[in-house]
Structure 1
Amino acid sequence: MNYHADVCIVGAGPAGTLLAYLLAQKGLSVILLEQNAALGQAFRGEHLNEEGEAVLKNHHLFEAVESLGVLRMEKLEYYADGRPFKTIYPDEAVGHLGIHVPQKHLLKAIIQKAQLLPNFTCLLHTKVIKLVMDASGYYKGVTAIKGGDTIKINSQLIIGADGRYSTIRKQAHIDAQKHKHGFDLLWAKIPAPPGWEPSIKMALIEDKQLSLFTQVGGFIQIGWNIEQGSFPQLRKQVFTPFIQQLSDAFPELAKTVTERITSWRDFVLLDVFSSHCHSWGIKGLVLLGDAVHTMTPTGAFGLNSALKDAECLASLLNKDTLAHFNVQDFQQMRKQAIEEVLAKQIEKEQTFADNFINKAS
């Protein structure tokens, strides 16, 4: 089966979904492809900062997202010896220190609006296997597998919004410069105890960052930095002393931690790295979000940068500009901002321990 569209977007994460909606609003025909059978299945960052919030508000999407459920962080606390010694509150003009937005809420709100537009199509459970190139070396579409059938999507422009391990980037032979940061990350999720306030809490465990993020629905997400590549050896060790460090750092969670995190299997490992591409696209193809500039979890910048990418790219595309779109224009709009964020992440990682130097005794 063959499909035809002005734009084919691969990857229905925040960047791809928002871009699809914004372009369809402009009258472009858009096909959005997602390899998973449902939206929001892959793990992604879920915290909005001021920039991401502004993007959604610019396009009258935030209210729809909020109606599904969000949670504003009311304070940031640094813990030592089992109690907070420094607390940071939000600027009154901002009203939060980040907003937890479940991935499924964000995508659902955008997709629902996009589906009201007749020129928008979303194909789930559709995995791209090949880029299609014309005789002049210009990318003109993709071949994909949907439900066991091979389909082809012909388009004037292909957008790779398919994440840190982007198939589109690899198929287009665009090199990514990968940078390790010296740590990997263990994720876990536990119920919040009664009376837990929407907050971010930080501790320092053996010179590594331990973070708690309150989530919608009464949960806490735990992010625990460990030495890069150490998990295979770590999980061979006895589990109890390791998890006791979490209970010691946050005593109010001791009971929940003991009940909910009982083995290494209760953690999810994230291979932490950042990357950037010198080229953000080639003839007929553009990359955005993690596909072109992967970020670490530090500072929760990834989601917000991806949303900003989508907004900026959408501002350059319409019926008149599509045929002669120059990816360099998009790259120039976003390159400096992305470089600044990546540098800020490194600075935050290198100076995190400084927050604990003058801790209260």
Structure 2
Amino acid sequence: MMYRSDVCIVGAGPGGALLAYLLAKKNVSVILIERYAGMGKAFRGEHLNEEGEAILKKYGLFSAVEELGLLHMKQLEYWQDGQLVKKILPDSKVGHLGIHVPQAHLLKVLVKESQKYDSFTLLMNTKVTELLEDETGRYNGVKAIKDGKEIVVRSKLIIGADGRYSTVRKKADIDVTVRKHGYDLLWARIPAPIGWEPAIKMALINGKQLSLFTQALGFIQIGWNIEQGSYPQLRKQPFQPFIDQLVQAFPVLKDSVLQNIRSWEDFVLLDVYSSSSEMWGKHGVALIGDAAHTMTPTGAFGLNSAMKDADVLAELINKDYIAELDLLNCATIRKEEVAKLQAIQIEKEESFASQFVVLA
């Protein structure tokens, strides 16, 4: 089957879905491709900062997301030996230290709003396998497998919004520089106990960061840093002494932890690194979000940066100026800011232990 559009976006995460909406709204025909049959995958970036919040409000999308459910973080706490040692409150002008938005809620709103336009097409359960080129070497489409059958999408511009392992980036032979940060991350999610106040809570366990993020719908997301590459060896050790450290750090969570994290299988491992591509596009291809610049979880910048990429790129594209689009414009506008955010992440990671010196 053959499809045609002005723009083909590969990856229906927040960045890709937002870009699809913004382009469809401008009457740019867009096909949004998602490799999975469903949206809102677990353990993805779900925290909006001021920038992400402002983008949603700019396009009148925030209230619709809010109706589905979100949660404002009212404080940041540092805990040691089961005791609160430091508390940080938000600027009164902002009113929060971040907003938890379930990714499924955000994507539901973006897709629903996009579907109001005839210029928008969503292809789920569709995996891109190849980039297509014209006689000049410019990329002008993709081959993909949808529901087990091969399809072709012809377009004037291909957007790689398909994450840190971007197929579009690989197929376009765009280089990426990877930086390891010395740690990997174990994710888990547990029900919040009754009376739990929405907050971000931090602890230091054996020199490694343990983070708790309160989530909408009554959950707590746990992010536990471990030594890079140590997980295979860690899994060979007894589980109970490991999880006891979490209970000791936050005693109020004892019942929920013991009921919901009973083995290593209850954790999801994230291979942590940051990355950047010197080129964010070439010959009819542009990259946004993690495909262009992977962030670590520190500071929760990834989601917001992908949305900002989409916001900036959408302003550069119109129906009559796609083929001649200077893809470097978006990169020029965004690269410096992304580099600053990645530097902030490194500084935060390196200085984390200093937050606890009040007990020294």
Smaller-chain TM-score range? over 0.9
2:303 match: 303
Residues 225-234 or 79-88, more deviating: 79-88
One-letter code of the match for 2:182?
A: G
User: How far is the alpha carbon of 1:322 from its aligned partner?
Assistant: 1.1
Instruction: Tell whether the 8 Å contact from 2:21 to 2:114 is kept in structure 1 after alignment.
Output: yes
Superposed CA deviations along residues 307-356 of structure 1, whole A, max 9, x for unmatched, are 00000000100023212101111110100000000000000000000001
Work out the CA distance in 1 between the residues paired with 2:53 and 2:11: 21
- 1:41 corresponds to: 41
| Preserved CA contact (<8 Å) 2:85 2:358 | no
Which residues in structure 2 correspond to 1:260-299 (within 5 Å)?
260-299=260-299
- Aligned residue type for 1:12: A
The one-letter code of the counterpart of 2:322 is L
Does 2:255 match 1:255? yes
Residue 104 of structure 1: aligned partner:
104
Q: 1:252 to 1:42 in 2, by over 3 A?
A: closer
Q: Using the alignment, how far apart are the partners of 1:216 and 1:260 within structure 2?
A: 18
- Structure 2 residue matching 1:357: 3-state secondary structure: helix
Rounded Cα–Cα distance in structure 2 between residues aligned with 1:262 and 1:95 = 37
- 3-state SS, counterpart of residue 324 of structure 1: coil
Offset of residue 39 of structure 1: 1.5
Moved more, 257-266 or 64-73: 257-266
Structure 2 letter corresponding to 1:26: K
CA distance in 1: counterparts of 2:53 and 2:324, whole angstroms? 31
Deviations 1:249-281 (A, max 9, x none): 001111211111111111100000000000001
The alpha-carbon deviation at position 42 of structure 1 amounts to 5.7
Correspondence list, 1:1-361, <5 A: 1-41=1-41, 43-359=43-359
Q: Which stretch of the first structure deviates more once superposed, 125-134 or 38-47?
A: 38-47
Which amino acid is the alignment partner of residue 214 of structure 1?
T
- In the alignment of these two chains, the number of paired residues is 360
- Give the AA of the match of 1:256: S
> For residue 114 of structure 2, what is the amino acid of its counterpart?
A
Cα RMSD for the two superposed structures? 0.8
Taking the aligned partners of 2:146 and 2:206, their CA distance within structure 1 comes to 48
Which of 71-80 and 33-42 deviates more? 33-42
Q: CA contact under 8 A between 2:214 and 2:220: conserved in structure 1? A: yes
Identity of aligned residues (%): 62
Which stretches in structure 2 are left out of the alignment for 5+ residues? none
* Equivalent AA in structure 1 for residue 328 of structure 2: Q
Alignment gaps of 5+ in structure 1: none
Q: Secondary structure at the match of 1:304?
A: helix
- Deviation, 1:131, is 0.2
Alignment partners' CA distance in 2, 1:55 and 1:101: 14
Look up the SS of the partner of 2:106 in the other structure.
helix
For 1:187 and 1:341, the matched residues in 2 are separated by: 23
Match of 1:323, SS state, is coil
User: What SS class does the counterpart of residue 184 from structure 2 fall into?
Assistant: strand
In the TM superposition, what whole-angstrom CA distance separates every residue of 1:95-145 from its partner, at most 9, and x where no partner exists? 110000000000001110000001100000000000000110100000000
* Letter matched to residue 10 of structure 2: V
Q: Deviations over 1:130-165 (max 9, x none)?
A: 000011010000000011111100000000000000
Letter in 1 for 2:272: V
Question: In 1, distance between residues paired with 2:223 and 2:43?
Answer: 13
Which residue identity is paired with 2:217? Answer: G
Q: What whole-Å deviation, never above 9, does each CA across 1:34-63 have from its counterpart, x for those lacking one?
A: 000012236410000000000101110001
Whole-Å Cα distance in 2 between the matches of residues 232 and 199 of structure 1? 32
Shift of 1:81: 1.4
Whole-angstrom CA distance in 2 between matches of 1:331 and 1:92: 34
Q: Deviations over 1:217-256 (max 9, x none)?
A: 1100000000000000001000111101000000111121
Q: Distance in 2 between matches of 1:74 and 1:329?
A: 37
1:63-86 superposed Cα distances (whole Å, 9 cap, x missing partner): 111010000001110001101111
- Structure 2: distance between partners of 1:106 and 1:271: 25
Contact 2:43-2:187 within 8 A present in 1 as well: no
AA aligned to 2:2 is N
Note the C-alpha offset of 1:289: 0.2
CA distance in structure 2 between the partners assigned to 1:184 and 1:78 by the alignment: 21
**Aligned partner letter, 1:29:** S
SS in 1 for 2:358: coil
Q: Given residue 151 of structure 2, which amino acid in structure 1 is its aligned partner?
A: I
| SS of 2:323 mapped into structure 1 | helix
* In 1, Cα distance between equivalents of 2:255 and 2:319: 59
